[in-house]
Chain A
Amino acid sequence: MALARRIIPCLDVDAGRVVKGVKFVDIRDAGDPVEIARRYDAEGADEITFLDITASSDERETMVHVVEQVASEVFIPLTVGGGIREMGDIRRMLNAGADKVAINTAAVFRPEFVREASDYFGSQCIVVAIDAKQVADDADGNPRWEIFTHGGRKPTGIDAIEWARRMSDYGCGEILLTSMDRDGTRAGFDLALTRAVSDAVPVPVIASGGVGNLQHLAEGVLEGHADAVLAASIFHFGEYSIREAKQYMAQQGIEVRL
Chain B
Amino acid sequence: MSTIAVIDYGMGNLRSVAKAVEHAAPQGTRVLVTDRRDAIFDADRIVFPGQGAARDCMRALREHDLVDVVRTVAGDRPFLGICMGMQVLLEHSEENDGIDCLGVFRGKVRFFGTDLRDEGGRRLKIPHMGWNRIHQRRPHPLWADIEQDTRFYFVHSYYADPLEDDLIAGETDYGIRFVSAIARGNVFAIQAHPEKSAEAGLRLLRNFTRWNGME
Contact = CB atoms under 8 A, between A and B. Distances in A.
B96 to A, nearest CB: 11
B53 interface: yes
B173 A122 contact: no
A96 B18 CA distance: 12
A1 B150 CA distance: 11
B45 interface: no
A50 B158 CA distance: 28
A3 to B, nearest CB: 5
Interface string B151-175: 1010111000000000000000110
Nearest to B118: A2
B51 A124 contact: yes
Contact of A71 (B15, B123, B126): B15
B129 A2 contact: no
Nearest to A202: B126
B52 A122 contact: yes
Interface stretch (B34-42, B62-70, B196-204): B196-204
Interface in B117-160: 118, 123-133, 149, 151, 153, 155-157
A214 B132 CA distance: 23
Nearest to A41: B198
B20 interface: yes
A124 B155 contact: yes
Contact of A72 (B19, B132, B198, B202): B19
B130 A75 contact: no
Contacts of A205: 125
A124 B127 contact: yes
B126 A6 contact: no
A257 B118 CA distance: 18
Contacts of A77: 153, 155, 196
B131 A75 contact: no
A95 B123 CA distance: 34
A202 B125 contact: yes
Given A3-B132, A6-B131, A75-B20, A204 B202 contact: no
B197 A6 contact: no
A121 interface: yes
Contact of A75 (B127, B157, B196): B196
Contact of A227 (B19, B52, B130, B195): B130
B55 to A, nearest CB: 11
B129 A204 contact: yes
A173 interface: yes
Contacts of B201: 75
A123 B198 contact: no
Contacts of A75: 16, 19-20, 23, 195-198, 201-202
Nearest to B135: A1
A83 interface: no
Contacts of A197: none
B53 A203 contact: no
Given A76-B153, A95-B13, A173-B155, A46 B131 contact: yes
B181 to A, nearest CB: 16
Contacts of B128: 3
A159 B4 CA distance: 50
7 contacts: A77-B155, A94-B12, A95-B13, A97-B19, A122-B53, A203-B126, A228-B130
Given A2-B174, A77-B196, A124-B155, 6 more contacts: A2-B118, A71-B16, A97-B16, A125-B12, A203-B127, A204-B127
